[in-house]
Chains A and B, each alone.
Chain A
Amino acid sequence: MDNWYFRVFLVLCGLLLSHTTQAAEDSQSPEESYLEEPPTLAPNVVRLGLKESELDDENFEIGVTYGFISVENFGTHDYLGLRAAWHMTEDLFFEANYGYTKVDETPAETISDLRLFNDSDREFNYYNLSVGFNILPGEVFLGKNRVYNNAFYVIAGAGNLDFLGDSEFALNLGAGLRLIITDSFAVHFTFQDIITDKPQVLNPNGESGSAHNMQYGASITYFF
């Protein structure tokens, strides 16, 4: 009986020994050494390489504007606009703007029964192409936990103004504040002066001089 126990014990010892030596031999193979490294807590991270074509560029901007424009001789009216911009460097961008409003009667028309202009002449349409400079980039803080990048910029450009049945060359000068809310959305507060020659119809004597149409507005834009 004792002998039987002893025999089983020997067999087990032999098995165990052969197994451990086997394990020791295995540990010299690369797989085993890898397994025996101290257990690090490295998660199974999938890392993607950076392909330039997949880099998400956010240099173009489109959006809508709403605000008020003071049309010389015709009072102040709300306007709707579209804007598109291309950001070339951190300092420089190009911008295209389109805006539309419709003016009311002039005081002379209101107090008399005169009708000096028809409805389509009262439409005030403009577009312009400008170059802009971000002159004061910075950060703004909203409360304790929020920070947004912003820039105060100036723009200057030229364009076209359709008003009182006439197309006019128009210069535009302006400034704005851009708040980058997310990677894709921004809010702008803008001021612009659209300068043309005095409208021909209102200036029959051909006096030289310019008309200033001041506008201010707010825009929401999308970057892509």
Chain B
Amino acid sequence: MIARTLLIILVALSFGISHAFAEVKPSVEVAEPYLDLRTGPGRGYPITQIVERGEWLEVIVRRTDWIKVRTEQGFIGWIPQQDMAKTLDPDGDYTQVSTVGQGEFAHRRWETGIKIGTFSGARTLGGYLGYYFTENLTLEATLSEAYSSTVDFLFYNLSITHQPWPEWRYSPYFTIGGGEKSTRYSQTELNLSDRIDQTLHAGLGLRIYLTRQMMIRGEYRNTIILTNQDNNDESDEWTIGISAFF
């Protein structure tokens, strides 16, 4: 009985101890004559404190490019991420915190984004997810919808995309693939019924690296709709979108 109670107390204590350890935040030591602390995570917030060389800062959270810190006196403030390079870790080495930039743009693994445009005159809206097998080849899944006054189209597509120059800031690419197009008529079109067709497409596009993990992507696609009539339909699609990579 006593042993069990002791055990429970021990477990509870160890729980408390591990919890206490979890509360210890990482710290860095200021290595410049001084650093400015702002009241918020942005360049417009006022500087109300400074920390001097040798003072320790507890690192709390990061919001975009700003890091929230607590000084030894208990003041809380924000420093820009690049100021972390002006601090030392407990081993005396300069702190290293990296920012995603154009260097990573050429070595991205995943890409996702949204795009708007026109499909044979109808407005379209879509999103996609891509995976890079190599720096040049991507497999992409796209879901998009086109809206015109009496009919809506829903597209599911898979494409293989090839970009010959992944390291260029303006990086052109070719895309080829296929998918499905489902057609839904508005309730006012009583004589037409919904249907599903297979599609094939080929296209050309341009990725433009913007900043951080972001790029703009413009694309032209020619889609052939495989109907069961004598002639297949052909449609032009122009889109522009904003994407992020990881």
Residues of A within 8 A of B (CB): 46-52, 54-59, 86-90, 94, 129, 131, 134, 137-139, 147, 149, 158-160, 164-169, 183, 197, 200-201, 204, 206, 223
Contact = CB atoms under 8 A, between A and B. Distances in A.
A87 B84 CA distance: 20
Interface in B54-77: 56, 59-68
Contacts of B67: 55
Contacts of B136: none
Contacts of A166: 152, 186-187
B115 to A, nearest CB: 10
B184 A49 contact: no
Nearest to A162: B152
Given A58-B62, A59-B63, A200 B90 contact: no
19 contacts: A48-B90, A49-B90, A50-B95, A50-B97, A52-B97, A52-B98, A56-B60, A59-B64, A88-B213, A131-B242, A134-B42, A137-B42, A137-B44, A149-B41, A160-B145, A165-B187, A183-B60, A200-B149, A204-B188
B35 interface: no
A1 to B, nearest CB: 60
Interface residues of B, number: 52
Contacts, number: 119
B62 A57 contact: yes
Contacts of A47: 26-27, 56, 90
A54 B27 CA distance: 12
B202 interface: no
Contacts of B147: 167-169
Interface of B: 24-28, 39-45, 56, 59-68, 84, 89-91, 95-98, 114, 116, 123-125, 127, 145, 147, 149-150, 152, 184, 186-188, 211-214, 242, 244
Given A49-B90, A167-B145, A204-B188, A139 B212 contact: no
A160 B184 contact: no
A139 B39 contact: yes
Contacts of B24: 46, 48
Given A88-B213, A89-B211, A48 B64 contact: no
A59 B81 CA distance: 14
B26 A51 contact: yes
Nearest to A87: B64
Contacts of A204: 188
A136 B175 CA distance: 41
Nearest to B241: A129
B212 A183 contact: no
Given A131-B242, A183-B68, A200-B150, A48 B91 contact: no
